[in-house]
Amino acid sequence: MSSVATYYNEKSVLVTGATGFMGKVLVEKLLRSSPDVKAIYILVRPKAGQLMQNRVEHMVKCKLFDRVREECPNFHEKIKPISAELTHPNLAINPEDTAELLSEVNIVFHCAATVRFDEPLKHALLLNVRGTQQLLALARQMKNLETFIHVSTAYANCNQRYIDEIIYPPPMEPKKLLDLVEWMDEFLIEEITPKLIGDWPNTYTFTKALAEYLLQQEKGNINVAIVRPSIVGASWHEPFPGWIDNFNGTSGIFIAAGKGIIRTVKCNVEAVADIVPVDVAINLILATGWYTAVHRPKSMLIYNCTTGGMNPFCWGEMEHHVISTYKRNPLEKAFRIPKANMTSNYLMHQYWTAVSHKAPAFLYDLYLRLTGRKPRMMKLFSRLHKSMTFFEYFTSRTWEWSSDNMNMLMNQLSPKDKKLFCFDVRQLHWSEYIENYCLGTKKYLLNEDMAGIPAAKQHLRKLRNIQYALNTIFLVIIWRIFIARSQMAQNIWYFVVNLCYKFLSYFRASSTLRH
Ligand SMILES: CCCCCCCC/C=C\CCCCCCCC(=O)SCCNC(=O)CCNC(=O)[C@H](O)C(C)(C)COP(=O)(O)OP(=O)(O)OC[C@H]1O[C@@H](n2cnc3c(N)ncnc32)[C@H](O)[C@@H]1OP(=O)(O)O
Ligand SMILES: NC(=O)C1=CN([C@@H]2O[C@H](COP(=O)(O)OP(=O)(O)OC[C@H]3O[C@@H](n4cnc5c(N)ncnc54)[C@H](OP(=O)(O)O)[C@@H]3O)[C@@H](O)[C@H]2O)C=CC1
């Protein structure tokens, strides 16, 4: 029998960020593993002109829920959407809904956050810190609350090289900073942001660190635990291998490499690529909920959810697997043949950016203009370069995280739970995982049909022939410009060609003699 799954049966669970990448996987797994869960309250904001109800209807129709739809067709009746906006006072939840949450909720999973690296500090603080603070205040009033699980990030303390499962004191009091951004002009806040965030690379990781500290300060006597996943990637097994639904983290870069758009990445090939499959992170989060509620540890436990310590995999290996998968299973309408050059050398990277990104983009835009179409490649590349500038910090360093609590929790699970809520990353085969991840980007993100692979391969062959033709034209031009004009260059050229010809004749003759 599964203790974890049984624990959630007949319980009311509150999930924030349920419309996001991880929140959705959490809701799906909870419904599938604990079909008798009493209710899952999800905090949803109206967005892009869509009503909350429509957003939830759209969400439960997505492919992710296919398995639970089969196993439990009325699963959507358990999902109770509550209109909320985490940056507004009292989370903008109406009094009736607030009363229901206060009397019903047993477990809170807080996933909502802004994960953008370029988020203005004020908004990142209001959502990631003030939002967490307000949710905690609401949770403290819940009559039947058993546990509160906060999803942070393994990079919250990325200014440290060794990251323990403890709270690191931030450089300033979160409350003081919240007060400051409340009255200060936004332009001024933008100006002083680099000074305020200090040695954090972006407002996202900085505000996640502040939120952790605030939780420790203000948790009162409620049972809180923090889970810190590293770079969350497509699912390993559940509900489908390779399931993914956004372009964040590595996914967008994989696609850009698969389309042959990105050909150079500034990266330390030997640095650890700490990717954790989304189902692993969610299994750990659910097991943490069970353990914290049932075993009630004396202090707040923090779980680093990483792979590098137990099953390291580096960026260089990843590039190899990504490119080889996309060559075998090409994406449709590729721009060029997938090929990526990874270097940590600034000058080499600049050279390859000019030669393999900017020049082809310029030529392609010229071609689009000449054929009466709107140019778009230069714009796309400038956006990709912006993203890569943000990612560079994470691809050029290696961190070491302790994972004692994750291992402790694994030992607490029954053999059945170890299978049902598996987060043992030692069993992960990276080549197989990356292959499924790349196929997942094709199937679930780009909605491409696998039956189109032969045509996509044909397209790659066409691109290869075009490339050969262009290379030949380029060589002829070089010859005409530089070699044909100088007698000495011609002599060297004929000497080299002659030498190659002699070598070839020699090998042909010796192989004929052997037969
Ligand atoms: C050969 C392969 C080699 C691989 C090498 C790998 C390289 C390393 C890669 C990654 C390392 C990552 C380390 C992360 C560590 C921390 C982890 C965590 O704790 S949290 C999670 C992380 N959070 C993020 O990943 C948010 C990062 N994203 C952002 O901050 C922004 O997106 C940013 C600044 C990078 C760009 O912002 P904008 O404003 O230029 O663009 P926008 O708003 O994101 O996208 C506009 C539209 O384009 C689509 N889009 C984005 N990428 C696309 C793509 N590749 N293809 C097609 N569409 C794409 C989007 O879906 C969006 O569409 P619509 O407007 O919503 O409809
Ligand atoms: N993805 C990753 O690689 C990693 C993620 N994490 C953490 O995991 C958690 C989930 O991340 P992920 O699922 O990737 O993020 P997503 O961006 O996919 O989802 C964010 C969720 O937060 C909700 N949200 C955002 N702003 C508000 C708001 N003002 N009020 C209410 N809800 C809001 C979003 O709702 P809406 O749909 O309305 O926008 C969405 O449901 C975050 O806490 C993140 O820090 C940690 C490590 C890595």
Among 248, 317, 401, 434, name the best residue to mutate to test ligand 1's pocket (greatest count of ligand atoms within 8 A of Cβ): 248
Clarify whether residues 351 and 475 are in a common domain. no
Clarify whether residues 439 and 497 are in a common domain. no
How remote is the CA of residue 375 from the centroid of ligand 1, in Å? 22
Split the chain (515 residues) into runs of 10 and give each run's mean pLDDT: 92 97 97 95 88 90 93 91 94 96 97 96 96 97 97 96 95 92 92 94 97 96 97 96 94 95 93 97 98 95 96 95 96 92 92 92 92 92 92 94 96 95 96 97 95 92 89 83 79 85 82 65
Clarify whether residues 314 and 433 are in a common domain. yes
How many structural domains comprise the chain? 2
Q: Is 177 exposed, middle or buried (0-12, 13-18, 19+ CB in 10 A)?
A: buried
Residue 513's pLDDT is 64
Clarify whether residues 315 and 334 are in a common domain. yes
Ligand 1 atom, smallest distance to 338 CA: 1
Inside any domain, residue 75: no
How remote is the CA of residue 407 from the centroid of ligand 1, in Å? 31
Which of the ligands is closest to the CA of residue 380?
A: 1
Ligand 2 atom, smallest distance to 154 CA: 47
**Does the Cβ of 231 fall within 6 Å of ligand 1?**
yes
Inside any domain, residue 375: yes
**Does the Cβ of 98 fall within 6 Å of ligand 1?**
no
**Does the Cβ of 151 fall within 6 Å of ligand 2?**
yes
**Does the Cβ of 437 fall within 6 Å of ligand 2?**
no
Torsion angles phi and psi, residue 311, rounded to 5: -150, 70
E strands along 378-454, which residues?
Answer: 400-401
Inside any domain, residue 434: yes
CA distance 226 to 301: 7
**Does the Cβ of 275 fall within 6 Å of ligand 1?**
no
3-state secondary structure of 100: helix
* Atom 2 of ligand 1: nearest residue by CA position: 319
**Does the Cβ of 151 fall within 6 Å of ligand 1?**
no
Clarify whether residues 267 and 309 are in a common domain. yes
Residue 70's pLDDT is 92
CA distance 305 to 323: 27
Question: What number is the ipTM of this complex?
Answer: 0.91
Inside any domain, residue 151: no
**Does the Cβ of 115 fall within 6 Å of ligand 1?**
yes
* Atom 43 of ligand 1: nearest residue by CA position: 116
Clarify whether residues 355 and 318 are in a common domain. yes
How remote is the CA of residue 298 from the centroid of ligand 2, in Å? 29
* Atom 55 of ligand 1: nearest residue by CA position: 252
Clarify whether residues 325 and 469 are in a common domain. no
Which of the ligands is closest to the CA of residue 131?
A: 2
CA distance 258 to 439: 10
Which of the ligands is closest to the CA of residue 391?
A: 1
Specify the DSSP element, H or E, that contains 151: strand 147-151
CA distance 41 to 36: 14
Residue 370 domain boundaries: 230-273+305-404+428-451
Clarify whether residues 441 and 497 are in a common domain. no
Burial pattern 387-399, b for ≥16 Cβ within 10 A else e, equals bbeebbebbeeeb
Nearest to 42 by CA among 1, 8, 93, 89: 93
Q: Which residue has the tokens 């940590």?
A: 344
**Does the Cβ of 248 fall within 6 Å of ligand 1?**
yes
CA distance 152 to 205: 9
Q: How many C-beta atoms surround the C-beta of residue 12 within 10 A?
A: 21
Inside any domain, residue 390: yes
How remote is the CA of residue 257 from the centroid of ligand 2, in Å? 25
Nearest to 281 by CA among 69, 21, 40, 11: 21
Inside any domain, residue 323: yes
Dihedral through CA 133, CA 135, CA 138, CA 142, nearest 10? Answer: -120
Specify the DSSP element, H or E, that contains 315: helix 315-328
How remote is the CA of residue 112 from the centroid of ligand 2, in Å? 4
* Atom 57 of ligand 1: nearest residue by CA position: 252
How remote is the CA of residue 173 from the centroid of ligand 2, in Å? 24
3-state secondary structure of 226: strand
Beta carbons within 8 Å of 48's beta carbon, 6+ residues apart: none
* Atom 1 of ligand 1: nearest residue by CA position: 319
**Does the Cβ of 47 fall within 6 Å of ligand 2?**
yes
* Atom 37 of ligand 1: nearest residue by CA position: 387
The long-range contacts involving 447-451, CB below 8 angstroms and separated by at least 24 positions, are 448/331, 448/332, 450/329
Inside any domain, residue 349: yes
Ligand 2 atom, smallest distance to 151 CA: 43
**Does the Cβ of 278 fall within 6 Å of ligand 2?**
no
CA distance 252 to 317: 18
How remote is the CA of residue 390 from the centroid of ligand 1, in Å? 9
Ligand 1 atom, smallest distance to 229 CA: 19
How remote is the CA of residue 250 from the centroid of ligand 1, in Å? 8
Clarify whether residues 321 and 462 are in a common domain. no
Among 14, 22, 87, 117, name the best residue to mutate to test ligand 2's pocket (greatest count of ligand atoms within 8 A of Cβ): 22
Clarify whether residues 493 and 345 are in a common domain. no
Q: How many C-beta atoms surround the C-beta of residue 312 within 10 A?
A: 13
Clarify whether residues 345 and 475 are in a common domain. no
**Does the Cβ of 86 fall within 6 Å of ligand 2?**
yes
Residue 514's pLDDT is 65
Q: How many C-beta atoms surround the C-beta of residue 70 within 10 A?
A: 10
Clarify whether residues 381 and 339 are in a common domain. yes
Inside any domain, residue 248: yes
3-state secondary structure of 44: strand
* Atom 19 of ligand 2: nearest residue by CA position: 20
